[in-house]
Amino acid sequence: MNIRKFASLALVMALSLGVTSCGSKKPAEEGKEEAKVEEKAEKGKEEAKSDGKAKKIAVLLYNGSDTYIASVRQQLEKLDEEDDSIELVYQDGQNNQGTQTDQLNNVIAQGVDGIFMNIVDISAAPTAMETIKASGIPTAFFNRDMTASMKEEDLKDFLFIGTDAPEAGKMQGQILTDLWKKGDMDRNKNGVLDYVMLNGGLDNPEAQARTEFSVKTLEENGIKVKEVAFQDCKWDTDKAKTAMDTWLQTNQDNIDAVIANNDGMAIGAISALQAVGMNTGSSKDNMVVVGVDATDLAVAEIDKGTMAGTVKQDAEGMAKALITTMKNRLGNGDFIEGTEYKLGADKKSIRIDYQIYTGK
């Protein structure tokens, strides 16, 4: 073979190998390009948060260990995970107004875009609002009704999202009315519904309303009632158990019902009852216990037959209303305009409906 022919053959072979080599690498290179696109998209999401595109909202909780508040936080976290336009940061006041006030000052100094405030002490609301006004940060108070402190000029930058507290009491009263009319609730057969009241807080509007209207509903339904004992347990399970332990030592046979302002206190009462062999799910000598919140623990007790009923306070609905209205305020300058929500009769608040729960 002469040198010219040999060179031509070598060139053809080289070109052939080159084509084959490029063809074999193409899928891998395409995979790398796709990976780079995905990586860039994820990086873009993170940059959106860090450069301020994601709105940072501080969530100030009165007490993170409160069962209902914990359920609201869980729902907020779920919505946060699904929404790249917001970033929630949490502070737990641990039921101490001084601690929460410090936390409020800190998040304002950090320059958050919005605040969700579950205030510890309702009487501290005016001071908190003055502090927030100076910062210009829109704020939605929730759960603990501080609307008495709100004025018409506050409505651009403040909103309250909660429930209609008397409705919870009315529903508790209706649960008890239905059970009384069945005829097996009067334990001492005196024709009077003898009850003990586990109160959440003497200065708390929700506790006041639930206490008042649960009893008032019974009376309006023609049932004679008698308060055997009353204790302010500050929404606390252990305090409720301690109170119930004492009452069972002195009045076990003369109590027909336990009315608790929340499920946490109802669970405390059930623990005390079970310690003396009552409300085990199989005993006929059960004492009627009702609460508010429809927490997982309470629903489980109701389904087992150890608790009579509760009133559902919608944690999911609360969280959704908070997120929706704050995003609307930050984007459109108004909390509710263009949303599904309407202000209540007080023109200061959104009220989330309660529901009765007495079993599956």
Residue 10 inside a domain? The answer is: no
Domain encompassing residue 270: 166-313
Q: How many domains is the chain partitioned into structurally?
A: 2
Check residue 46 and give its pLDDT. 41
Residue 296 inside a domain? The answer is: yes
308 and 228, same structural domain?
yes
Minimum mean pLDDT range among 151-155, 195-199, 321-325: 151-155
Burial class (CB in 10 A: 0-12, 13-18, 19+), 264: buried
Assign 52 a pLDDT band (cuts: 50, 70, 90).
Answer: low
Residue 43 inside a domain? The answer is: no
C-alpha to C-alpha distance for 336 and 354, rounded to whole angstroms: 21
pLDDT, tens only, 94-138: 999 999 999 999 999 999 999 999 999 999 999 999 999 999 999
C-alpha to C-alpha distance for 253 and 190, rounded to whole angstroms: 11
262 and 174, same structural domain?
yes
Check residue 147 and give its pLDDT. 94
Percent of the chain with pLDDT over 90: 79
339 and 236, same structural domain?
no
Adjacent-strand bridge partners of 161? 142, 350
Q: Is the pLDDT of residue 12 over 80?
A: no
Q: Is the pLDDT of residue 19 over 70?
A: no
122 and 80, same structural domain?
yes
299 and 172, same structural domain?
yes
C-alpha to C-alpha distance for 23 and 274, rounded to whole angstroms: 76
Q: Angle, nearest 10°, between helix axes 263-275 and 296-304?
A: 40
Residue 49 inside a domain? The answer is: no
Residue 24 inside a domain? The answer is: no
C-alpha to C-alpha distance for 72 and 162, rounded to whole angstroms: 12
pLDDT, tens only, 234-280: 999 999 999 999 999 999 999 999 999 999 999 999 999 999 999 99
CATH of the domain at 212: 3.40.50.2300
pTM of the model: 0.77
- Mean pLDDT for 305-324 is 96
Residue 35 inside a domain? The answer is: no
247 and 346, same structural domain?
no
272 and 230, same structural domain?
yes
Q: Is the pLDDT of residue 17 over 70?
A: no
- Mean pLDDT for 222-232 is 98
**In a 3-state reduction of DSSP, which class is residue 327?**
helix
Mean pLDDT (the chain, rounded): 88
265 and 198, same structural domain?
yes
215 and 119, same structural domain?
no
Q: Is the pLDDT of residue 45 over 70?
A: no
Check residue 77 and give its pLDDT. 98
**In a 3-state reduction of DSSP, which class is residue 62?**
coil
- Mean pLDDT for 64-92 is 96
Assign 38 a pLDDT band (cuts: 50, 70, 90).
Answer: very low
Residue 150 inside a domain? The answer is: yes
Assign 342 a pLDDT band (cuts: 50, 70, 90).
Answer: very high
- Mean pLDDT for 13-26 is 38
Residue 334 inside a domain? The answer is: yes
Assign 53 a pLDDT band (cuts: 50, 70, 90).
Answer: confident
Q: Is the pLDDT of residue 288 over 60?
A: yes
